[in-house]
Structure 1
């Protein structure tokens, strides 16, 4: 077994680098999922350091879930940060840098400066000195955008030597409102801006922050000039900036425009350690440097750019440029063009993308280990007698429909090692009530809905008054019927819950006409991946297929009985559902046209499993059951069948385990929107692993659902591994808008890398080599709001490790 190698990635100039100088890595978003728990504090410190911040002294480092989107230009860094509660302070830096601008975008913060404390509402901008006795406390979650501008970004501009003695809180009005909106909109677009666009926006942020800082502070020059003098000098510099292309720009014309004497103007520059002519030349050369390095300016000749900034003589411009930067303008532009073409090829894409080729052509116009143990053997009879077995029948009183909640009272409490049989219902039983509800007391209890009463009113995590869409209580923001929750005695946050699936049996129909037979349903619906790609008429459309399940035959399988297209259904409350938009709406038999002979002579092999196995999340009281996350939930992975195990990180006292969304079978991807949904009963053994006893276990350092089968480890990746923490109050809507397979694949890769390095003891290079050669990555689902990619690691790979 190889000794684990810890590679510390550090932030330098806004991107991650290896300690080896010159081995810089390209920019990437930060996620704590890449790091083992013990490494997260240092990694998060590096993220804060990139924008001039650090954890405050005498406070614990943040070691929970955290993300950061970061982009930089010379002297400019912009980060969107999301993490748990913590206190931050300045990382002292030398130089005449502008104050750090921090915009709290949710919940606000508490600012301590000296002996005073102030609550800063969200949406207010805080200008933070780079030194001084201050700290900023985020009492629930840190969710902020931070802009750091150092003197390097000023490119020779005189800032007036701004000195902030203490933090300034600026309400979003006037110029401050413009600054806040620009910072926020830029942060949202960080990953989509082209290099040329980002360069332009970054320079605008510098200009805005410089102007706002002059408004909010009384600048004091090192040579003792007054605040009034510094303010006049700042206005003069802004005037020069607007007139750099004017070849006749002179001290006299600028002084006249400001209503001061030329001598006083020169005195102001001398107070800042400069003179007018040198400052103008420096700013012109810096602006020319920026344009020559910008691919978007490649169609303009060097002479045009020189003339643009007041150089009437190309030869003089070339000499001045070489003297300042060490290269001629032509050599410099060619160097930057080559760098731009090289860096334009996205990582992960082989070959040259068309935009990189176009950029190249434009630029050329100016150029001439541990041992795995299989699942434990079944307990012997004596052990089984010592354990307790429980049964949780399904009824309206024992289910929660469409949401998870830390506030739900448990239906039962069991001890570690106990087994429990849990009855579950598919939320799609109402697709054919005669087959899947009639005569079944448990199903009738849950689905019971008349004009006078709905037995389970809330269906989803939305408002009870149906104020958004008018669909019904809960609005259908979450759809799964979950039985539970089950409290686990002594379970506390930080522990790990092991859930072993001992058995799964289908729930037969209790209908007198179909008693003993098993039925299921699948829906190709508006949330399916296919929905906007339909080629037959009518389009769009939703289709329901009803199946019979043959679980007892030598080769268990499902056969389609019939299908129908969804027609508007009026529920007992009188609400018309034009689409399949609310769970449990009973389908009237005379409202649909059944199509028989569908999927003729096709047997679909069964893969019985539970789509939903979840513990309660800690972040919110009502959490939509659809997007899966660190707490499990709607994983929709068919490998969670009989004899499999899932490990879940406990987030709340008691764990509050719930089970639902039973499936007869499903393909990877769940493309149309659902699997073959079929009510089932599962038997589980639940084992609690205390936080203090996790060291050395395969599920140590767990921050995601980990599946184990007799032959494989299956790691679950998501577009957003903890969307509730990442997006905060907007998480349950934002996750639907931003999920992608690219993000899910990155998360699965990061988790597998972490597993191989910290559980199996491989180096990073070894882990990547093994992943490419022997790990299977697959699409779990693309329909659950938070898309999934799983990574399968065969235990046979480590058979010789013992």
Structure 2
């Protein structure tokens, strides 16, 4: 039977490690709807008045906090936890940062030694569905959660920063309102947690951050049996709520191909080329171009079979440049 009673988990139930010995913040039946108050992916270390001078003081050890866990009655190892995303509401501001290269964070971290920070206004144009990067560049708001996961089978503490077969920091922008995520249960109760709200992100999150923001989230958690094929995160989207590619790419895109025998280096070449184009054609600084790519450009594997070289494209949707033909 499905239960639709309302339950809430506050941001005080925060943790920075996946650990199957954590006591549940809440215990619910299968089919329950739950709301969460979520910290941003930086543990709310930046405010709406923060500047680039605050970035070196950022404590990376506080990255990707999760809220929970929630124990789901009836969930047993071998089952699947079905996560339906019902509502995602962003805060009034968000941020995108380039961290100092010494942290090794970001696809081109070695080429961006200096910190940078962009504070986004997520309120003024929210009803119109976008936020302004700078005059003439609009980014569609498309909320999703970077961290969605359940406890691992192994005992001990595991960082919330990387993704796992049980979910975690998967940073998949396609899993949004209307989408359904399926996670393989490894421990009794599943122990579900979530966090790391994003207002927008490009595939790849290339500078290491999206539009990071605090968020209010509502999900429905349901235990499903007999789906042995779910051994890693699976997800389903609907046409109504999935990323609106027509809106993003209705004017086409400008894309750069990176070619290299190493897939990561091919990705770096593609991204570097897109940055160069944004600097040369659109007048952005390199730091601005790097952050812009992280919140709207998509990295795609264009070719992976014609060895020894791989081809990766980095595409920038042209519809973000308003007032241009």
TM-score by length of 1: 0.28
Instruction: Report if the CA contact (8 A) 2:48-2:119 is conserved.
Output: no
CA, structure 1 residues 544+552, in 2 after alignment: closer, same or farther (shift >3 Å)? closer
Q: What's the counterpart of residue 457 of structure 1?
A: none
Instruction: Report if the CA contact (8 A) 2:69-2:191 is conserved.
Output: yes
Are 1:504 and 2:118 matched, yes or no? Answer: no
Instruction: Report if the CA contact (8 A) 1:498-1:645 is conserved.
Output: yes
| Alpha-carbon distance in structure 2 between the residues aligned to 1:550 and 1:602 | 16
CA, structure 1 residues 670+423, in 2 after alignment: closer, same or farther (shift >3 Å)? same
| Alpha-carbon distance in structure 2 between the residues aligned to 1:478 and 1:403 | 10
Are 1:389 and 2:2 matched, yes or no? Answer: no
Instruction: Report if the CA contact (8 A) 2:140-2:200 is conserved.
Output: yes
Structure 1, residues 548-596: CA drift from partner, whole Å, max 9, x if none?
1138744311224xxxxxxxxxxxxxxxxxxxxxxxxxxxxxxxxxxxx
Are 1:399 and 2:44 matched, yes or no? Answer: no
| Alpha-carbon distance in structure 1 between the residues aligned to 2:49 and 2:115 | 21
SS of alignment partner, residue 603 of structure 1: strand
User: What does residue range 593-742 of structure 1 map to in structure 2 within 5 Å?
Assistant: 599-690=134-225, 693-694=226-227, 700-711=228-239, 741=263
Q: What's the counterpart of residue 308 of structure 2?
A: none
User: What does residue range 363-374 of structure 1 map to in structure 2 within 5 Å?
Assistant: none
| Alpha-carbon distance in structure 2 between the residues aligned to 1:647 and 1:551 | 35
CA, structure 1 residues 414+778, in 2 after alignment: closer, same or farther (shift >3 Å)? farther
Instruction: Report if the CA contact (8 A) 1:478-1:625 is conserved.
Output: no
Instruction: Report if the CA contact (8 A) 2:204-2:299 is conserved.
Output: no
Instruction: Report if the CA contact (8 A) 1:503-1:682 is conserved.
Output: yes
| Alpha-carbon distance in structure 2 between the residues aligned to 1:545 and 1:552 | 17
| Alpha-carbon distance in structure 1 between the residues aligned to 2:238 and 2:149 | 22
| Alpha-carbon distance in structure 2 between the residues aligned to 1:687 and 1:741 | 37
Instruction: Report if the CA contact (8 A) 1:478-1:626 is conserved.
Output: no
SS of alignment partner, residue 137 of structure 2: coil
Are 1:421 and 2:35 matched, yes or no? Answer: yes
Structure 1, gaps ≥5 residues long = 1-382, 436-470, 508-517, 535-539, 561-598, 695-699, 715-739, 746-775, 780-788, 790-802
User: What does residue range 80-159 of structure 1 map to in structure 2 within 5 Å?
Assistant: none
Structure 1, residues 690-739: CA drift from partner, whole Å, max 9, x if none?
2xx33xxxxx4111100111259x9xxxxxxxxxxxxxxxxxxxxxxxxx
User: What does residue range 316-465 of structure 1 map to in structure 2 within 5 Å?
Assistant: 387-395=4-12, 398-400=13-15, 402-428=16-42, 429-432=44-47
- Give 1:678 shift: 0.7
| Alpha-carbon distance in structure 1 between the residues aligned to 2:138 and 2:155 | 43
- Give 1:387 shift: 2.8
TM-score by length of 2: 0.67
Q: What's the counterpart of residue 549 of structure 1?
A: 122
CA, structure 1 residues 669+551, in 2 after alignment: closer, same or farther (shift >3 Å)? farther
| Alpha-carbon distance in structure 2 between the residues aligned to 1:415 and 1:421 | 14
Which structure would you say has the larger RCO, counting Cα contacts within 8 Å and 6 or more residues apart? 2
SS of alignment partner, residue 193 of structure 2: strand
CA, structure 1 residues 622+476, in 2 after alignment: closer, same or farther (shift >3 Å)? farther
Q: What's the counterpart of residue 559 of structure 1?
A: 132
Q: What's the counterpart of residue 47 of structure 1?
A: none
Structure 2, gaps ≥5 residues long = 51-56, 243-261, 268-297, 302-311, 313-325
- Give 1:480 shift: 1.2
Instruction: Report if the CA contact (8 A) 1:411-1:486 is conserved.
Output: yes
Structure 1, residues 423-480: CA drift from partner, whole Å, max 9, x if none?
1010433222668xxxxxxxxxxxxxxxxxxxxxxxxxxxxxxxxxxx99xx845611
Q: What's the counterpart of residue 528 of structure 1?
A: 106
CA, structure 1 residues 417+604, in 2 after alignment: closer, same or farther (shift >3 Å)? same
| Alpha-carbon distance in structure 1 between the residues aligned to 2:182 and 2:114 | 39
User: What does residue range 775-790 of structure 1 map to in structure 2 within 5 Å?
Assistant: 778=300
- Give 1:533 shift: 2.6
SS of alignment partner, residue 532 of structure 1: helix
CA, structure 1 residues 682+632, in 2 after alignment: closer, same or farther (shift >3 Å)? same
| Alpha-carbon distance in structure 1 between the residues aligned to 2:61 and 2:21 | 18
Instruction: Report if the CA contact (8 A) 2:65-2:160 is conserved.
Output: no
CA, structure 1 residues 634+387, in 2 after alignment: closer, same or farther (shift >3 Å)? same
- Give 1:634 shift: 0.4
- Give 1:741 shift: 4.7
Q: What's the counterpart of residue 484 of structure 1?
A: 68
| Alpha-carbon distance in structure 1 between the residues aligned to 2:202 and 2:67 | 24
| Alpha-carbon distance in structure 1 between the residues aligned to 2:187 and 2:173 | 27
CA, structure 1 residues 411+548, in 2 after alignment: closer, same or farther (shift >3 Å)? same
| Alpha-carbon distance in structure 1 between the residues aligned to 2:181 and 2:124 | 24
| Alpha-carbon distance in structure 1 between the residues aligned to 2:124 and 2:80 | 33
| Alpha-carbon distance in structure 1 between the residues aligned to 2:189 and 2:117 | 38
SS of alignment partner, residue 406 of structure 1: coil
| Alpha-carbon distance in structure 2 between the residues aligned to 1:689 and 1:478 | 33
| Alpha-carbon distance in structure 2 between the residues aligned to 1:424 and 1:688 | 23
| Alpha-carbon distance in structure 2 between the residues aligned to 1:701 and 1:523 | 38
SS of alignment partner, residue 409 of structure 1: coil
CA RMSD of aligned residues (A): 3.0
| Alpha-carbon distance in structure 2 between the residues aligned to 1:640 and 1:554 | 22
Instruction: Report if the CA contact (8 A) 1:403-1:480 is conserved.
Output: no
- Give 1:642 shift: 0.6
CA, structure 1 residues 407+551, in 2 after alignment: closer, same or farther (shift >3 Å)? farther
| Alpha-carbon distance in structure 2 between the residues aligned to 1:616 and 1:629 | 10
Aligned residues: 239
